[in-house]
Structure 1
Amino acid sequence: MRLVDQHCHSVVRADLDPAAFAALITESDRPPAAGTTPFDSATGLAVRRWCPPALGLPEYAPAADYLVRRRELGPAEATARLLAAAGLDCCLVDTGLTGAAGRPLLPLAELAAATGAEVREVVRMESVAERVDSTAAGWSLAVRAALESACAEAAALKSIVGYRCGLAVPPGPPDEAEVIRAAGAWLSGPRTRLADPVLLARLLWTAVEVCEPLGLPIQLHTGFGDPDLRLHLADPALLVDFVRAVEPSGVPLVLLHGYPYHRQAAWLAASFPHVYADIGLTVTHTGARAAEVLGEVLELAPFGKVLFSTDAYGLPELFLVGAAQYRHSLGRLLAGWQADGGCPAADAARIERMVSAGNARRLYRL
C-alpha cells in the first residue's frame, strides 16, 4: 500500500561525507560515545536493514560499504532509488527548515519529482511570525495577515511551541496590552528566534482563528527531539486546557511524534474529537521495538485518529526507514492480534488502510 506521509521535511541535494551523513541519523547534535558512531543505535540498525537493498547491497551491509556505494551512485541517483522504494503517494512537507548539515534542501517541486508523490506544504507558523515587520501595536494584525497569506496553498500549519516555551499553552489569547509590550521587546531586539511565551500564545491562538474557517489542521510538535528541547515540557498532556478551549472551533490538532509520551497523545486522541495522534519519528527511532510502541498507541487511540508519517529530514534514507519500519511493524502487530483472535482479517486490513493513508486523506482533504 502506498502511504500518505503526513509530516516530513525535504532532503539534502548534495553529496555527504561520512560524518555529515552519520550526524543526520540521530536527533543529537553532540558527538557519539567514544569508539562508536551514530550507526550504533536502533536507527542505525534500521538504516542498515532497509536501505542497502535499494542501492544494490545486501541487508545489514557495513556502514562503510553502504556509504561507498551511495557515493558511487551519486546523490541524485541514490535519492531517487531510496525515495522510490519508500512507496509514498503524498508527502506533507514542513518547510520551516531550509538546510541540513550545512547544505540546502531540495525545493518542493524537486522533492515531488524525486518521490513521484504529490507534495503539499505545511507552514511553520513561528517562521512566518519571525519574518513579520510591524509596529508593536500592529504586531497581532500583521501576524494574522501573514498567516492568512501563508495558508493560501498549505495543507496545514505547524507549531514548535513545545521547543520554544513548552506545551502548557493558555486556554485563551493573552491580553492585547501584554502582546504589545512583548512585541515591542521582540521588535527592538536581535529577532533571532521567537521564544516569548506571550507572543507564542498569541500566535497559536491566531492560527486557530485563521484555520477555523479554512478547515485546516494545526500540527504540534510533542515528545522527543534534539537537545534544544526540554523534554518534560513537550509532554502532550500539558496541552489539555488548550485542547479543551479549541474544541468548540473544531480546528483539528495533530500531535506529532509523542514518544515517550505517546500514550498521553493516544489518550488525548481518544478523549477529544478534534485531536489526532501521529506516529512519525517514533517508528523510525524505536527500531526493533517499533511494533510494541505502535501497539501502545493503538491500544487506546481510535484507529481513525492515528496518522502515519516519517518525519524524515535531510536524508532520503529516513523516508525509506520510516515507511519500511512502519509497514513491517504494523504487519507484525496486526498479525499478532489476528493470531490471538483479537482482530478479524477484514478489520486488520481496514486499520491498515486508515492509518497508512485514509485518515490523512480525510483530515487534510487530499
Structure 2
Amino acid sequence: MLSDHVDGLALVDHHVHGAVKGPLDRTGFEQLITESDRPVPPWMSTFDSQLGLAIRRYCAPLLGLPAHASADDYLAARAHADVNSLFLRAAGVSDYLVDTGYLGDAVTGVDELAKLSGSRAHEVVRLEAELEYVSTQESDVAAVPDALVRRLEERTGGAIGLKSIVAYRYGFDFDPAEPSSADVLTALDRWYSSGAGRVADPVLLRWLLWTGARRGLPLQLHVGFGDTELQLHRADPALLTEWLRLVEPLGTQVVLLHCYPFHRNAAYLAHVFPHVHLDLGLTTMYVGARAAAVLAEGLELAPFAKLLYSSDAWGPAELHFLGAALWRRAVSSVLDGFVAQGDWSADDAVRVATLWGRENAVRLYGLDQR
C-alpha cells in the first residue's frame, strides 16, 4: 500500500530549527504553538486550533496517552518524558537542514539536534544574521562589503544552504535589480548612523539576496504565513517574479518556503522557472486536519521534481514530529485518491511521494555527497 511506503520513507526535513531546551509550563507551551507573538488571551487556549488538536491526536499516543487526551493530561505527561529525543526519533527523518539564525541560544544547535534525533544534521546560514554580525566587528563602513563576503565564505564552508527573511524585514515588493556598490555604501552609512542592529533597509536586503545568490548554494526564502512581524500581502511570491528572472542566469536554486496562502502562486513560479522550488512546511502543521486539501493545491501546478518536505519546526519537539506525521497522512490521502480515481498508477504515486519526501532534497542539496 502507498501509506505503508510513505510511513516508512526516511524524510529529509530541508528547513527546520532546533528543539527548545528545558521544561515548558502551560503558558510557555501554548505560546510556542501559535505564530502570534502576543500573549494568549486568558479566555482562550491555543490548543483550540487545528495545530492544538493535531498535537492531542498524534502526539499523545507517543506519551502513552489515548488519542485526543485532554490538554491538561497531555502537558502533565510531557513534563515527565524525554520529549526531545522521543519526538525527534519518531519523526522518521534521515537529515535535518537547520536554520540556526533565529534565537539559536534558546534551542538545540545542529550537533545537538543530530545527537537527539539519531539523524544527520546540516546548517542553513541566515544572510541577515551574518550581516548583523559583521556590523559588530567592522567599524569602517567601507570595509563591510568585503568583510561580508569573507564571512559568508567562512560560514558556508560546511553549510548546506542559505536563507533570507527579506519577507519579514521589508517584503517582496523591492527593486529587483542588483544595487550598485555606491548604493550599498550609502545604505550601509545610513544603517551605521542609526546604530546598525537589525537590518531592514531594502537596499541592504536585496544586496544580501544578490550576494547570497552569487555563493551558489540553494537559497531559501520565507514566503507567506508567519508571525506578526510580517505584512502578509507583501510576502506573496508573485512579487518576486522579476527578481527571479534577473537572478536566473546565476544558476542558483531558489527555494520558496511554506508559501501559504500563496502556495498556488509559488507552484506557478516553480512551474515556469527551472531554478525555483517550493515546500508547504509550517503550513502542514498549522492547517492540521486540512493538510491534505492544501497539499493537493500545491500539486496542481508544481512540477513534482520541485516539491520538498519541511516541518519548519522551532521550539517544542512535537512540531518536528507532527510536521512529518501530518505530511505522511496528507500525502497518502491525496495520492491514494488520485489512484482510486484512475488518474494515477500506484507506481506513480509511490514515485512522486518519494521525490517529494526525500529524493528532490537529496539532489538539490547534494546530500548523497556528504
Give the TM-score category using the shorter length. over 0.9
1:139 aligns with 2:144: yes
Asked if structure 1 preserves the Cα contact closer than 8 Å seen for 2:270 and 2:303, the reply is: yes
Asked if structure 1 preserves the Cα contact closer than 8 Å seen for 2:125 and 2:162, the reply is: yes
1:50 aligns with 58
Whole-Å separation in 2 of the counterparts to 1:141 and 1:233 = 31
Tell me the SS of whatever aligns to 2:199: coil
Give how far 1:219 is off. Answer: 0.1
Pick aligned residue for 1:19 from 27, 38, 45: 27
Asked if structure 2 preserves the Cα contact closer than 8 Å seen for 1:334 and 1:348, the reply is: yes
Whole-Å separation in 1 of the counterparts to 2:109 and 2:168 = 25
1:231 aligns with 2:232: yes
1:95 aligns with 2:100: yes
Whole-Å separation in 1 of the counterparts to 2:92 and 2:334 = 20
Length-normalised TM-score, structure 1: 0.95
Whole-Å separation in 1 of the counterparts to 2:57 and 2:321 = 10
**TM alignment of 1:1-366, pairs within 5 A:** 1-33=9-41, 35-73=43-81, 77-99=82-104, 104-132=106-134, 133-134=137-138, 135-211=140-216, 216-366=217-367
Give how far 1:249 is off. Answer: 1.1
Q: 1:98 is aligned with what amino acid?
A: L
Q: 1:339 is aligned with what amino acid?
A: A
| CA deviation vs aligned residue, 1:334-358 (integer Å, no higher than 9, x gap) | 0110111111000000001000000
| CA deviation vs aligned residue, 1:219-278 (integer Å, no higher than 9, x gap) | 000001000111011000010011001111110000000000000000000000000011
Asked if structure 2 preserves the Cα contact closer than 8 Å seen for 1:50 and 1:320, the reply is: no
Q: Which runs of 5+ in 1 are unaligned?
A: none
Whole-Å separation in 1 of the counterparts to 2:173 and 2:219 = 16
Give how far 1:25 is off. Answer: 0.6
| CA deviation vs aligned residue, 1:80-112 (integer Å, no higher than 9, x gap) | 11111111110000000135xxx7211221110
Length-normalised TM-score, structure 2: 0.94
Give RMSD over aligned pairs: 1.2
Whole-Å separation in 2 of the counterparts to 1:318 and 1:116 = 17
Whole-Å separation in 2 of the counterparts to 1:175 and 1:54 = 55
Whole-Å separation in 1 of the counterparts to 2:213 and 2:86 = 39
Tell me the SS of whatever aligns to 1:12: coil
Tell me the SS of whatever aligns to 2:278: strand
Whole-Å separation in 2 of the counterparts to 1:41 and 1:125 = 33
Q: 2:132 is aligned with what amino acid?
A: E
Whole-Å separation in 2 of the counterparts to 1:341 and 1:189 = 62
Give how far 1:201 is off. Answer: 1.2
Asked if structure 2 preserves the Cα contact closer than 8 Å seen for 1:167 and 1:235, the reply is: yes
Asked if structure 1 preserves the Cα contact closer than 8 Å seen for 2:176 and 2:206, the reply is: no
Whole-Å separation in 1 of the counterparts to 2:39 and 2:51 = 16
Give how far 1:34 is off. Answer: 5.0
Tell me the SS of whatever aligns to 1:219: strand
Whole-Å separation in 1 of the counterparts to 2:17 and 2:51 = 18
Whole-Å separation in 1 of the counterparts to 2:25 and 2:84 = 15
| CA deviation vs aligned residue, 1:171-210 (integer Å, no higher than 9, x gap) | 3211222211111121233322100011111111111112
Tell me the SS of whatever aligns to 1:163: helix
Whole-Å separation in 1 of the counterparts to 2:19 and 2:132 = 23
Asked if structure 1 preserves the Cα contact closer than 8 Å seen for 2:31 and 2:40, the reply is: no
Q: 1:68 is aligned with what amino acid?
A: A
Q: Which runs of 5+ in 2 are unaligned?
A: 1-8
Whole-Å separation in 2 of the counterparts to 1:145 and 1:83 = 35
Asked if structure 1 preserves the Cα contact closer than 8 Å seen for 2:176 and 2:242, the reply is: yes
Whole-Å separation in 2 of the counterparts to 1:354 and 1:364 = 14
Q: 1:349 is aligned with what amino acid?
A: V
Q: 2:357 is aligned with what amino acid?
A: S
Whole-Å separation in 2 of the counterparts to 1:351 and 1:230 = 34
Whole-Å separation in 1 of the counterparts to 2:35 and 2:295 = 20
